């Protein structure tokens, strides 16, 4: 099955309506990752079909849970989930942060080639990042365990903002270690991804 069909079917299964232009840009983004992967190891996923599920649909599955106007993606790597979310939500101001110069160089290239005006790329260690304004929401996909994620990004979240941690299996141990009880854990069903996926939503409430 083509990437176009996999993406279209996956978006339908997720109940997401994205324009043809947005879908084309999402696939252009995958093509850029594939191109850069030949020289730089951006992601371990190389199969074109797997990339649709594991990169695009996995990122876009959190869209219904994004109740914010400014979003920081920490440890973004190849730009996941930040770039797909910025493409899908042009009204959302997205900042993607990574400490790797190689990865942020790729992110800037993707921003330029895809014309993503609502995206800002920052190369910095998270604890050293001091933006002019805090963010409504801070998200991470493969950054660290939950306790470390909250500790390192506490200075980046608005007082009434929240964190979103994208996880695989239900993170019982991580939540216990972080001493968190009043959190929302949403199971996600991602088309093309057989593994368990969960989204952990944590209110800042400072």
Residue list, annotated binding site for S-adenosyl-L-methionine: 75, 80, 98-100, 126-127, 141
Distance between CA 31 and CA 45 in Å, rounded? 13
- Please give, one letter per residue, the 3-state secondary structure of 103-118: HHHHHHHHHHHHCCCC
Distance between CA 33 and CA 59 in Å, rounded? 15
Using an 8 Å Cβ cutoff, are 135 and 155 in contact?
A: no
CA 5 to mean position of chain CA atoms:
22
Exposure string of 184-198, with b = 16+ CB inside 10 Å and e = fewer, is ebeebebbbbeeebe
**φ and ψ at 144, to 5 degrees?**
-170, -175
Distance between CA 37 and CA 43 in Å, rounded? 7
Residue 54 is given by DSSP the state I
| 3-state secondary structure at position 11 | helix
Pairing of strands 184-188, 197-203: antiparallel
Distance between CA 182 and CA 179 in Å, rounded? 10
């Amino acid at each position: 099955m083509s990437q176009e069909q996999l993406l279209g079917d996956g978006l339908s299964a997720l109940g997401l309506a994205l324009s043809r232009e947005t879908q084309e840009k999402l696939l252009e983004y995958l093509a850029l990752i594939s191109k850069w992967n030949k020289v730089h190891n951006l992601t371990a996923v190389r199969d074109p079909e797997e990339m649709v599920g594991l990169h695009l649909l996995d990122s876009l599955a959190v869209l219904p849970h994004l109740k914010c106007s400014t979003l920081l993606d920490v440890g973004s790597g190849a730009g996941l989930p930040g770039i797909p979310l910025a493409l899908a939500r042009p009204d959302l101001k997205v900042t993607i942060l990574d400490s790797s110069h190689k990865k942020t160089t790729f992110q800037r290239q993707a921003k330029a080639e895809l014309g993503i005006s609502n995206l800002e790329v920052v190369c910095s260690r998270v604890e050293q990042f001091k933006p002019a304004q805090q963010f409504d929401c801070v998200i991470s996909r493969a950054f660290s365990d939950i306790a470390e994620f909250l500790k390192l990004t506490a200075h980046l979240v608005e007082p009434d903002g929240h964190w979103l941690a994208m996880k695989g299996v239900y993170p019982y141990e991580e939540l216990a270690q972080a001493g968190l009880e009043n959190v929302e854990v949403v199971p996600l069903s991602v088309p093309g991804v057989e593994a368990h996926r969960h989204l952990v939503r944590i209110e800042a409430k400072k």
